[in-house]
Amino acid sequence: MRLTSRQEQIIELVKENQPITSEQIASKLKVTRATLRPDLAILTMSGILDAKPKVGYIYANKPSYSMLYDYLNETKVEKVMTKAILLNEDEWVYDGIVTLFLNDTGTLYVENDGKLVGAVSRKDFLKTAMGGSDLHKIPLGIIMTRMPNIVYTTKEQSVYEAAKKIIEHEIDSLPVIDNSSDSDGFRVIGKISKTNITKILIDLCEKK
């Protein structure tokens, strides 16, 4: 984050005189408190300064990415998840490929009796197609990755934790499951993908 010259002056004043109030900072810089308000807001939101009620400002020395970390850690998957594309495990691979491209998605989630049983990615479809088999005669259940090997998240989990799972397992999305599902299996209520997370970052940058 690029700071203005006045913001850099404020940081130096706080380092030298902490704790220091906004009135004292304004007096030293010969500006009004109203003029300083946006600068102090930026410096505290970015984690550089910390505001102590009835005390003043201190130098927090947090990394500039602390605001982004806090935002991703506080935002729940429920707020950013999108619709998951679901097919039954006895549907043909050919139908799965058509569904994949019509919905412009990277992964299809496979269910049986309304419960998550597997997942099929673009790579799975490509390997099957290259094998020369009749795609109209192979059910999705044959080529899918089966539970319990599916990595998933819940709507209550943070976006940060979901993003960590996506990176650690080198996948493009996670199914969001209803964690109130019974012991017989999980019901899929959405998905969170790399695209969802990238959109969050873009929206955050544009707001700032």
pLDDT number for residue 69: 74
Segment 95-149, tens digit of pLDDT? 999 999 999 999 999 999 999 999 999 999 999 999 888 999 999 999 999 999 9
Say yes or no: domain 5-64 is CATH 3.30.70.260.
no
pLDDT number for residue 170: 87
Task: Tell me whether the CATH fold assigned to 5-64 matches the one assigned to 73-203.
Answer: no
193 pLDDT more than 90: yes
Higher pLDDT, 62 or 32: 32
Do 172 and 107 meet the contact criterion of CB atoms below 8 Å apart? yes
184 pLDDT more than 80: no
* Main-chain dihedrals φ then ψ at residue 68, nearest 5 degrees: -65, -45
Segment 145-180, tens digit of pLDDT? 999 999 999 999 999 999 999 988 989 999 999 977
Segment 6-59, tens digit of pLDDT? 999 999 999 999 999 999 999 999 999 888 988 898 888 777 888 888 899 999
Domain residue limits, the chain = 5-64, 73-203
pTM: 0.69
Terminal C-alpha separation, the chain:
11
pLDDT number for residue 175: 97
Burial 106-138 (b: 16+ CB within 10 A, else e): bbbbbbeeeebbbbbbeebbeebeeeeeebeeb
pLDDT number for residue 47: 77
Do 136 and 94 meet the contact criterion of CB atoms below 8 Å apart? yes
DSSP per position, 35-95: HHHHHHHHHHHTTSEEEETTTEEEE----TTHHHHHHHHHSBHHHH-BPPPEEETTSBHHH
Superfamily name and number for 73-203: CBS-domain (3.10.580.10)
pLDDT number for residue 48: 84
